[in-house]
Amino acid sequence: MTSPVGLHRVIEPSGVLPQAATKLDNDPAVGADEVRIAVERLNLDAASFRQLATKHGGDGDAVRAEVLEIIRTRGKMHNPVTGSGGMLIGTVEAVGPDSPLGLSVGDRVATLVSLTLTPLRVTDGLSRWDGTSEQVPAAGHAILFARSIAAVLPDDLDPELSLAVLDVCGAPALTARVVGRYPDAKVAVIGGAGKSGSLSLAAARRAGAGRTVGIVPVEHEAARLRAVGLADEVALADARDPVALAAAVTGALGGPADVTVVCVDVPGCEHGSILSTADGGTVVFFSMATSFAAAALGAEGLAADVTMLIGNGYTPGHADYAMSLLRADAGVRALFDARLHAEKPE
Amino acid sequence: MTSPVGLHRVIEPSGVLPQAATKLDNDPAVGADEVRIAVERLNLDAASFRQLATKHGGDGDAVRAEVLEIIRTRGKMHNPVTGSGGMLIGTVEAVGPDSPLGLSVGDRVATLVSLTLTPLRVTDGLSRWDGTSEQVPAAGHAILFARSIAAVLPDDLDPELSLAVLDVCGAPALTARVVGRYPDAKVAVIGGAGKSGSLSLAAARRAGAGRTVGIVPVEHEAARLRAVGLADEVALADARDPVALAAAVTGALGGPADVTVVCVDVPGCEHGSILSTADGGTVVFFSMATSFAAAALGAEGLAADVTMLIGNGYTPGHADYAMSLLRADAGVRALFDARLHAEKPE
């Protein structure tokens, strides 16, 4: 008897959901409502990859060894330090008779649930990966549950491009929903030149934002973001410096933001994003480096009446919405194409 | 020149807000817009006290020694493991000429900003505290900034009672705001017999909830909560067991909750609270033990379209609102009185 949320795959501790488990059962035999994917590529979460690369001082072999060890011991790619995972692409190779996901054997798919809850086995030692990029060629298999989500990759786009967009597709969908609640919203996207940031800027504009600013840490990112015209303003600031960040946002928007979207994967951006936001406004935290306590106590300590959202990676229709932004917005497409060709982590 | 948010009191690292600082300047001399409080009692955050008590196996002397060491080295009571602090009561002993807080020398006040950002010095070695309760008699001083919040304690109530209510006054105010968005809301309060939980149940009812359930872990708490009639239903569940929690909530409310309020100070309640909540519903996390990543990835992994709020400790009018619940609701008053006489941590 299988559980739609994968409880039957949890080895330890018992009773928790797969994401909270320290170890999952990655047996390739599929249950009645499961799907098995032949893995082609893992896409590590940016915060996770950054932590590993920093820990090992950029030594790719050491990074690869640690990723292999995590997958071997946990039965999933769940970084124990950052708590984050990533996603994968592959080909459907087995579908249980009761699976509700609508997938067929041979479909090329991206999984839209985190690797932190996806049973995974790697069989090639990640030998085609040099450990210096978050894009990881891999062979092996992964398991989807009844209540998982996967998107069939479009035929007309480079699968790596689709994967890069789908990886962060929760961000633009939730940004659009929040921005739509404020008439002529002033919107700040912290980390506006990155994957989730650029999609969020495009989503904010489409959702009716009155004025947008993309905040970036360095001039070459500012130039890239200005060139594609995704934001009304582009400004430089270190997001970890709360006073500097608030000054940059307020200067660019002519006042604090109604909606601040945090898309940078470094710790310590909570206070600056709160200070950048108007009373009655909303901060949406998408960064996995966000500290719950720093946000909660920071807002209280600043007597800031802001709504703070934990960026839920799932909003109905999120994958289609993000792909539509990629297809319709030349600026988004240009940034993603450039990123893909540079093969640099976000 | 002083900063309204206390930047001038940050010793290291430079540029961050006081809450993010590893060390604050606790010099008793007040700046032009500062206020100095003669400390009477600290009230440690429940998650912080629990971590310390667990770490030291209930050895009160060891707990006291660690609290003293934290305050001495950091210049504030900021638990480095939980990231949380607490609050304090005391008497105003100096007011800078430009302070906007409206306080006068001699006012007996509770600080409504976290101890994690409040410069603090203790001068009595906490000699009147046995280390076994979160209520800490203390002598010394604390500093408030221009953008801090403090409430003058009412004359007609036991100050410990006022402190216990004010400590968690952000929870009922935000609960009321969220519940008011859902007509006839079904509301689940996880940890409904505690301080923030009981106030949140009372707030939910006053805000028009259609049906409420208080979830508690043990029968004696259930009996206590039933006796005061604060919730339409009371149910037992271990909040760390997601399936059991969701079954308890759904059973009591006749379906998943529109609003789930998480008030238990143990880690691992994110998945259960998400599973307990209807699509389109809202989870409000007040527990400082909440993991941002577990919540974000958990909702994504469950394909759950729920709004997840970081429980901001500040909502305008929160202190008056919480005190009005205490005065108007006999059930709330009875629970707080019982807790006070038992002198047990939440």
What are B211-250's pLDDT values in tens digits?
999 999 999 999 999 999 999 999 999 999 999 999 999 9
Interface test mutation site (partner B, options A111, A143, A310, max chain B beta carbons within 10 A): A310
CA dist B343 and A123 (Å) reads 57
Q: How many helices (H) and strands (E) does chain B have?
A: 11, 14
pLDDT at A343: 55
What distance in Å separates residue A131's CA from the closest CA in chain B?
24
Helix, strand, coil % over all residues of chain A, rounded to 5? 35, 25, 40
- From the list A5, A83, A244, which residue is nearest B293 (CB)? A83
Cβ separation B84–A297 shorter than 8 A: yes
> Whole-prediction pTM value?
0.86
- The b-or-e profile of A209-243 (16+ CB within 10 A means b, else e) is bbbbbbbbbeeebbebbeebebbbbbbebbbbbbb
Cβ separation B18–A301 shorter than 8 A: yes
- From the list B20, B275, B313, which residue is nearest A271 (CB)? B20
Nearest of A138, A118, A116, A135 to residue A127 by alpha carbon: A138
What pLDDT band is residue B343 in, cutting at 50, 70 and 90?
low
The phi and psi torsions of B265 (rounded to 5 degrees) equal -100, 40
> For residue B107, is it left (φ>0), alpha (ψ between -120 and 50) or beta?
beta
- Using the Cβ of A165 and the Cβ atoms of chain B, whether some distance falls under 8 Å is answered with no
CA dist B319 and B233 (Å) reads 27
Q: Please name the residues in contact with B344: beta carbons below 8 A apart, sequence gap of 6 or more.
A: B133
pLDDT at B56: 97
Spatial strand order of the sheet with A108-111 comes to A120-122, A135-144, A35-44, A86-95, A108-111, A150-152
- From the list B82, B84, B296, which residue is nearest A310 (CB)? B296
pLDDT at B340: 82
- From the list B84, B271, B302, which residue is nearest A147 (CB)? B302
Within 10 A of A247 (CB to CB), how many other CB atoms are there? 16
Nearest of A64, A65, A70, A66 to residue A24 by alpha carbon: A70
Cα A317 to chain centroid, rounded: 16
Residue B57 has pLDDT above 60, yes or no: yes
CA dist A187 and A277 (Å) reads 9
What pLDDT band is residue B76 in, cutting at 50, 70 and 90?
very high
Cβ separation A268–B16 shorter than 8 A: yes
Helix (H) or strand (E) holding A332: helix A330-342
What distance in Å separates residue B149's CA from the closest CA in chain A?
7
Between positions 59 and 88 of B, the ones with CB within 8 A of A are 82-85
What are B256-309's pLDDT values in tens digits?
999 999 999 889 999 999 999 999 999 999 998 999 999 998 898 888 999 999
pLDDT at B346: 44
- Using the Cβ of B15 and the Cβ atoms of chain A, whether some distance falls under 8 Å is answered with yes
Interface test mutation site (partner A, options B33, B270, B300, B318, max chain A beta carbons within 10 A): B300
Q: Flag residues of chain A having pLDDT under 70.
A: 343-346
- Residue B290 with chain A: CB contacts under 8 Å: 292
At A109, list the tokens.
């798919």
At B140, list the tokens.
């010394």
Residue pair B122/B139 in contact (Cβ under 8 Å)? The answer is yes
- HSE-CB at B215 with a 13 A cutoff on CA atoms is 30
Cβ separation A303–B293 shorter than 8 A: no
Q: Please name the residues in contact with B115: beta carbons below 8 A apart, sequence gap of 6 or more.
A: B42, B44, B45, B76, B77, B78, B85, B86, B87, B88
- From the list A17, A82, A285, which residue is nearest B242 (CB)? A17
What are B316-328's pLDDT values in tens digits?
999 999 999 999 9
The phi and psi torsions of A277 (rounded to 5 degrees) equal -110, 140
- Using the Cβ of B293 and the Cβ atoms of chain A, whether some distance falls under 8 Å is answered with yes
- Residue B242 with chain A: CB contacts under 8 Å: 15-17
pLDDT at B204: 98
Cβ separation B291–A85 shorter than 8 A: no
The phi and psi torsions of A305 (rounded to 5 degrees) equal -85, 70
- Using the Cβ of A21 and the Cβ atoms of chain B, whether some distance falls under 8 Å is answered with no
Q: Nearest 5°: CA angle at A313, between A165 and A203? A: 55
- From the list B292, B304, B314, which residue is nearest A305 (CB)? B314
The mean predicted confidence, pLDDT, of chain B is 94
pLDDT at B106: 96
What are B97-145's pLDDT values in tens digits?
999 999 999 999 999 888 999 999 999 999 999 999 998 999 999 999 9
pLDDT at A265: 84
Cβ separation B84–A306 shorter than 8 A: no
What are A210-257's pLDDT values in tens digits?
999 999 999 999 999 999 999 999 999 999 999 999 999 999 999 999
pLDDT at B240: 94
Query: What's the ipTM?
Result: 0.86
**Residue that the structure tokens 């600031």 belong to:** A237
Nearest of A269, A279, A327, A332 to residue A302 by alpha carbon: A279
- Using the Cβ of B311 and the Cβ atoms of chain A, whether some distance falls under 8 Å is answered with yes
Cβ separation A292–B306 shorter than 8 A: no
Which stretches of A269-329 are DSSP H helices? 270-275, 292-301, 318-328
What distance in Å separates residue B280's CA from the closest CA in chain A?
10
Cβ separation B305–A315 shorter than 8 A: yes
Span of A28-37, A151-160, B57-66, B189-198 with lowest mean pLDDT: A151-160
What distance in Å separates residue B298's CA from the closest CA in chain A?
7
- Using the Cβ of B340 and the Cβ atoms of chain A, whether some distance falls under 8 Å is answered with no
CA dist B288 and B271 (Å) reads 15
What is the distance in angstroms between the CA of the first residue and the CA of the last residue of chain A? 41
- The b-or-e profile of A11-49 (16+ CB within 10 A means b, else e) is eeeeebbbbbbeebebeeebbebbbbbbbbbbbbbbbbb
Interface test mutation site (partner A, options B24, B302, B307, B309, max chain A beta carbons within 10 A): B302
- From the list A16, A290, A296, which residue is nearest B312 (CB)? A296
Interface test mutation site (partner B, options A5, A284, A300, A315, max chain B beta carbons within 10 A): A300
- Residue A112 with chain B: CB contacts under 8 Å: 300
- The b-or-e profile of B266-295 (16+ CB within 10 A means b, else e) is ebbbbbbbbbbbbeebbbbbbbbbbbbbbb
Would strands B307-310 and B277-285 be described as parallel, antiparallel, or unpaired?
parallel
Sequential DSSP letters for A177-198: HHHTTSTT-EEEEETTTSHHHH
pLDDT at B159: 84
Nearest of A144, A194, A136, A143 to residue A160 by alpha carbon: A136
- Residue B319 with chain A: CB contacts under 8 Å: none
Residue B345 has pLDDT above 80, yes or no: no
- From the list A17, A170, A296, which residue is nearest B271 (CB)? A17
What distance in Å separates residue B123's CA from the closest CA in chain A?
25
Return the residue of B nearest to A3 by Cα: B243
- Using the Cβ of A115 and the Cβ atoms of chain B, whether some distance falls under 8 Å is answered with no
> For residue A191, is it left (φ>0), alpha (ψ between -120 and 50) or beta?
left
